[in-house]
Amino acid sequence: MLPESDNPREACGVFGVYSPGDDVARLTFYGLYALQHRGQESAGIATSNGEDFSLRTGMGLVAQVFDEEDLAYLKGHIAIGHTRYSTAGGSLACNAQPIVVYDRETGDPIALAHNGNLTNVDILREDLEAQGVVFESTADSEVIAHLFTIAPGRTFEERFHYVMRRIEGAYSVVMMTKDRLFAMRDPMGVRPLCLGRLDGGWVVASESCALEHLGVPMEREVQPGEVIVIDEHGPASFYPVAPARKRAICTFEYTYFARPDSRIGGQLIYPAREEMGATLAREHPVEADIVIGVPDSATPAAIGYARASGIPYREGLVKNRYVGRTFIQPDQRIREAGVSLKFNALSDVLAGKRVVLVDDSIVRGTTTPRVIQLLRRAGAKEVHMRITTPPIVSPCFLGVDMATKAELIAANHSIEEIRQHIGADSLGFLSLEGLNRATGQNPEDLCNACFTGVYPLNVQMQLERLEAERGREPALAAAESLHRAGRP
CA–CA gap between residue 481 and residue 452 (Å, rounded)? 38
CA–CA gap between residue 99 and residue 117 (Å, rounded)? 15
Q: Is 5 helix (H, G, I), strand (E, B) or coil?
A: coil
pLDDT computed for residue 292 by the predictor? 98
pTM of the entire structure? Answer: 0.88
The answer to whether the peptide bond before residue 296 is cis (omega within 30 degrees of 0) is yes
> What does DSSP say about strands 382-387 and 354-359: parallel, antiparallel, or unpaired?
parallel
Nearest to 366 by CA among 390, 326, 335: 335
239 contacts 67 by C-beta, under 8 angstroms:
no
pLDDT tens digits in sequence order for the chain, 488 residues long: 333 456 655 568 999 999 998 899 999 999 999 999 998 889 999 999 999 999 999 999 999 999 999 999 999 999 999 998 754 445 556 678 999 999 988 999 999 999 999 999 999 999 999 999 999 988 889 999 999 999 999 899 999 999 999 999 999 999 999 999 999 999 999 999 999 999 889 999 999 999 999 999 999 999 999 999 999 999 999 999 988 888 999 999 999 999 999 999 999 999 999 999 999 999 999 999 999 999 988 999 999 999 999 999 999 999 887 655 444 455 656 655 656 678 999 999 999 999 999 999 999 999 899 999 999 999 999 999 999 999 999 998 887 877 789 999 999 999 999 999 999 999 999 999 999 999 999 999 999 999 999 999 876 555 555 555 555 444 434 333 333 333 33
pLDDT computed for residue 105 by the predictor? 87
Residue 392: which H helix or E strand, with range?
Answer: none
Q: What is the CA radius of gyration of the chain?
A: 22
Binding-site residues, in ranges, read 250, 297, 359-360, 396, 447, 450
Binding-site residues for Mg(2+), in ranges, read 297, 359-360
- CA distances in angstroms from 272 to 27, 264, 480, listed in the order given: 29, 11, 40
CB count in 10 Å sphere of residue 337: 14
Residue partners of 72: CB distance under 8 A and separation at least 6: none
Q: Which CATH class is domain 9-245?
A: alpha beta
Name the CATH topology of 268-446: Rossmann fold (3.40.50)
Is 209 in the active site? no
Q: Is 181 helix (H, G, I), strand (E, B) or coil?
A: strand
Amino acid at 369: P
CB count in 10 Å sphere of residue 157: 13
H helices of 263-346, where? Answer: 269-283, 299-309, 332-337
> What does DSSP say about strands 249-250 and 446-447: parallel, antiparallel, or unpaired?
parallel
Q: Is 18 helix (H, G, I), strand (E, B) or coil?
A: strand
pLDDT computed for residue 279 by the predictor? 98
304 contacts 276 by C-beta, under 8 angstroms:
yes
Length of the chain in terms of residues written: 488
Burial of 283 (0-12, 13-18, 19+ CB in 10 A): middle
Longest dimension (CA), the chain: 72
Nearest to 440 by CA among 275, 279, 306: 275
Nearest to 226 by CA among 164, 167, 141: 164
- Locate the domains of the chain by residue range: 9-245, 268-446
Nearest to 319 by CA among 298, 335, 303, 341: 341
CA–CA gap between residue 381 and residue 361 (Å, rounded)? 23
Nearest to 48 by CA among 24, 66, 26, 68: 24
pLDDT computed for residue 96 by the predictor? 86
Binding-site residues for [4Fe-4S] cluster, in ranges, read 250, 396, 447, 450
Sign of the CA dihedral 359, 365, 369, 374?
negative
Buried b (16+ CB within 10 A) or exposed e, 205-242: bbbbbbbbebebebbebbbbbbbbbbeeeebeeeebee
pLDDT computed for residue 466 by the predictor? 55
